Amino acid sequence: MDKTIVFHISDWIDEDDFKLLTKFTKYLGREEGKSRFQIDINKLSRAVREGEVEPSDVLDILIDYDARFETGCIDDVKKIVEDFMPKVVVKMQNNEVILIPSTYLGEKINDIKKKGWIVYDRSTKVFKLLKPMHFFDVVEILKDNGVVVINESNISDRIELPLKISFKGELRDYQTEALDSWRKNGYRGIIALPTGTGKTIIAVSAIAELNVKTLVVAYTKEQMFQWREKIASFTDIPRSLIGFFYSSEKRIAPVTITTYQSAFRYIKSLSPHFSFLIVDEVHHLPADKFRYIAENMFAKYRLGLSATVIREDGKHNKLFPLMGGIVYSKSLAELAQLGYIAPFTIETIKVNLTPEEKKKYKELVERYRRLVAGKTFEEILEEARRGLPEALEAVKIRAELRMLVHNAEEKIKAVERIVSRELEQGSKIIVFTQYVEQAKKLAEKLQTHYIIGELDETTRRRRLEAFK
């Protein structure tokens, strides 16, 4: 650049800072209480080459001292400095993100390597991003370390909606608190509130606030349809901008709703299109599918919705951070005390196993203990992943034990008694079960409908309407 760049600093300059300034400038003297300098490209080049100056230091010191330019401007300095800064070109290649460095990066990339986010491919001399979820973190760390990042991947942290949408609802105090906590956490995190307390409405408000293309991952098909209705009802977004991606209907829209099965299967195709990921029922999603979906989305902004702060499988400590961790939670008791939900009672009904069930349970427990030989279940799972026959058999027996307990005959009879009692009192009743066969069996005993995932949409909706 032939342009002469002259600037002055009015403040008194620290001795060390003055020495730094003179490594890349010519000192012109002090006039009228101002120290004047001229950028010297030759001095700057030598200082950078010999490691006396980091290119990023040049801009930092000019900004810190509020340098005023007599000729040229700060943007001219930026252009000069960038020529001396290490560069990384980011590209998509064969569905992988690669980082092509212009020079040896050394310590500038150590933190990222230690975190296990990238790996160096010696054959191609490029770095490869291991998990899409770390894309923006990697870019930010590189920039903070004085690396110029040239993004040619077409991956953006903000893929805007085609129009500005507005939230038409009104949030309760705790919903506003939850949204604010999520916002303060960088628009990332999990909100844990009991079922029926309006988590979906909070998420819809978040969609309107961010106004970026959004992927919603629902637990079931029915919940997927409910999400569309909530988004359409509580915002002014045209329905044409809301699409479903599941089964035979696969349309990527500005706001796309999918099931976790479809997201798991097609996540690499979906990932580049969205800046905001919402995962519903994060306490229920199978651990392997939840992790795969979260890790393979580029989306910088994330919101998880959960009915509890823990998962039954105990994997919340490893899985919830993938969405940003728990940022807000309230229990049923707290919300009832605040007057937001009707009073309720929780009653535990204990039942016994039948003699035949007890016998089978005892046999299964004895077989399980022989196979595990004192090992923890986590150790058994790890061995099962490696294909060890004894571990695989132990995992199978443990599942049989759970099935035996959850499907106990006396539980069916207890449900029949409770339903009979509540019907006499004029109550509306809904029974939740963990297993499909159990739901069918209960429906047969109670002479009523069941709703399961395999039902066709027409039957499912008809039965839901009948219940309402």
DSSP per-residue string spanning 57-71: HHHHHHHHTT-EEEE
CATH architecture of the domain 87-151 equals 3-Layer(aba) Sandwich (3.40)
For position 96, what pLDDT does the model report?
93
For position 324, what pLDDT does the model report?
93
CATH architecture of the domain 173-337 equals 3-Layer(aba) Sandwich (3.40)
**In a structure prediction context, what are the per-residue pLDDT tens digits for the chain, which is 468 residues long?**
457 999 999 999 999 999 999 999 999 999 989 999 999 999 988 888 788 888 888 999 999 999 999 999 999 988 888 888 888 999 999 889 999 998 888 888 999 999 999 999 999 999 999 999 999 999 999 988 888 899 999 999 999 999 999 999 999 999 999 999 999 999 999 999 998 899 999 999 999 999 999 999 998 888 999 999 999 999 999 999 999 999 888 999 999 999 999 999 999 999 999 999 999 988 878 788 899 999 999 999 999 999 888 887 777 888 889 999 999 999 988 888 888 887 778 889 999 999 999 999 999 999 999 998 888 888 888 888 788 899 899 989 998 998 898 889 999 999 999 999 999 998 888 888 878 888 899 999 999 988 887 777 788 788 888 876
State how far the alpha carbon of 415 is from the alpha carbons of 102, 422, 425, 439, in Å: 68, 11, 15, 11
d(CA 333, CA 194): 10
> How many CA atoms, within 13 angstroms, populate the side-chain half-sphere of residue 88?
25
For position 384, what pLDDT does the model report?
84
* Residues in CB range of 180: below 8 A, 6 or more apart: none
444 SS3 class = helix
d(CA 278, CA 256): 10
Query: Helices in 241-386 by DSSP H: which ranges?
Result: 260-270, 287-295, 316-319, 332-337, 355-372, 377-385
What stretch of H or E contains 391?
helix 389-406
Closest alpha carbon to 234 in 167, 157, 135: 167
- Burial class of residue 291 (count of CB atoms within 10 Å of its CB; 0-12, 13-18, 19+): middle
For position 170, what pLDDT does the model report?
95
